[in-house]
Structure 1
Amino acid sequence: MEKLPVLSLPRTRLEQLHDILSVVVLAFSIIYFILNWSDLPQTVPIHYNGRGEADGWGSKATLLILPLLSLILFIGLSILSKYPHKFNYPFKINAENAPHQYQTAKLLLSWMKVELVLLFGYLQWSIIQNALGHSAGIGVWLLPAVLVIIFGTIIIHLIRMKR
C-alpha cells in the first residue's frame, strides 16, 4: 500500500456551515421527540414499503434509534474527515494533487454528513407525524429523492476529483 502525503487542511466555511446545520437538526430531532413522547402511542410505524406506506410497527422507544444513529454518523464522519490521507482514492495521489484531492474528499464527507442527518431528522419527524395521525406514510418520492441526492453528491465529487 502506497503511503499518501499527510497534510493539515483547515476546515472550510462550508464544512463549518454543514456542521452547524447538522447539530441544529440533531437538536431539533431530540427535542421534538422529547416534546411528543407522552402523546405518542405505544406502537408506532417503524418500516415503510416502496410506496411510502407504513407496513411495520414497533415500540415508540424504537424512535430513539434515528437520532442516535444520526449522532454516531455525524461524529464518525467528523473524525474520519480529519484523516483524508487514509482514504482510498480512485485516482493516483501525489504531493502536487493531494491538497485538491483531500479537500474534495473532505467536502464529500461533509455533504454526506449533513444529508444523512437531514434524512434521519426528516424520517423521525415524519414517523412522529404518522404516529400522531397528522399524516399517512412518508411519500413515494422519498426513496428516489434520497438516492438521487446521495449518489448525485458522490458523482459530483468524483468528477471534481478527476479534474
Structure 2
Amino acid sequence: MENRPIIKIKRDKMDVIIETVTILALLITFLYPAFYYSYLPKNIPAHFNFSGEVDRYDHKSWVWLLPIISLVLNTALYFLNKKPHLFNYVNKITAENAEENYRSSIKIMRFTGLVISILFLIITYQTVTLGLSGAGKTPVWSEYLIYYLLFILTFGTLGYAIYKSRKN
C-alpha cells in the first residue's frame, strides 16, 4: 500500500442523519423483541425460504441473534470509518484527492450500515410478529420489501461507489 495521507474527515449533516437513523433502527431492533419476549411461544421462526415460508424453528432466545449481529456489524463499520486510509480505492490516493475519496468511501460505509440496520430490523420484526401470530409464512408485502430493498440498496450503493471513484 502506498503512503496515503491520514486525515480526519468531519461529518456533515447527511452523515449525522444517516448515523441517527441507523442508531434508531438498531434500538428498535432490540426494543421490539424485548417488549414482546414474554409473549413469544417457546419456539419461533428462525429461517425463511425464498417463498417467505418458515423452514426452521428455534428457541425464542434466538430472537436476539439478529439484533446482536446487526450491532456487531455496525460497530465494526463505525470503527473502520475512522481509518479510511486503509480502504481499497480504484485510483491512487494523493494529498490532493484524499479528502474527497475518503469522504465518499465513509459515506458508502455509513449507508451500508444503515441498510444492514433496516434489513435486520425488518427480519427481526417478521420473526417476532410471526412468532406471536403462529403464521408459517411472511406477508407478501414484507417478502418483496426485503428483496427489493436489498437489491436496490446494494446495487445502488455499488453504482454510487463506482460513479464516485470514476469521477474522482
Q: Do both proteins adopt the same fold according to a TM-score greater than 0.5, normalized to the shorter chain? A: yes
Output the amino acid matched with 1:97. Answer: N
1:1-150 matched pairs, under 5 angstroms: 1-133=1-133, 136-137=137-138, 139=140, 140-141=143-144, 142-150=146-154
Cα distance, 1:90 vs structure 2:
1.6
Structure 1: tracts of 5 or more residues without a match: none
| 1:101 Cα offset (Å) | 0.6
The DSSP-based 3-state class of the residue aligned with 1:7 is coil
Partner of 2:162: 158
Tell me the alpha carbon deviations over residues 39-92 of structure 1, each in whole angstroms, 9 at most, x when there is no partner.
111111111111121111111111101111111111111110011101111222
Q: Note if contact 1:45-1:58 (Cα within 8 Å) is conserved in structure 2.
A: yes
RMSD, matched Cα:
1.5
Question: Size of the alignment, in residue pairs?
Answer: 163
Amino acid of the structure 1 residue aligned with 2:155: F
Instruction: Judge which range, 126-135 or 3-12, deviates more.
Output: 126-135
Identical-residue share of aligned pairs (%) = 26
- Residue identity matched to 2:17: L
The alignment partner of 2:133 has SS state of: coil
Provide TM-score, normalisation by structure 1: 0.93
Consecutive unaligned residues of structure 2, counting only runs of 5 or more, are: none
Distance 1:130 1:55 in 2: 13
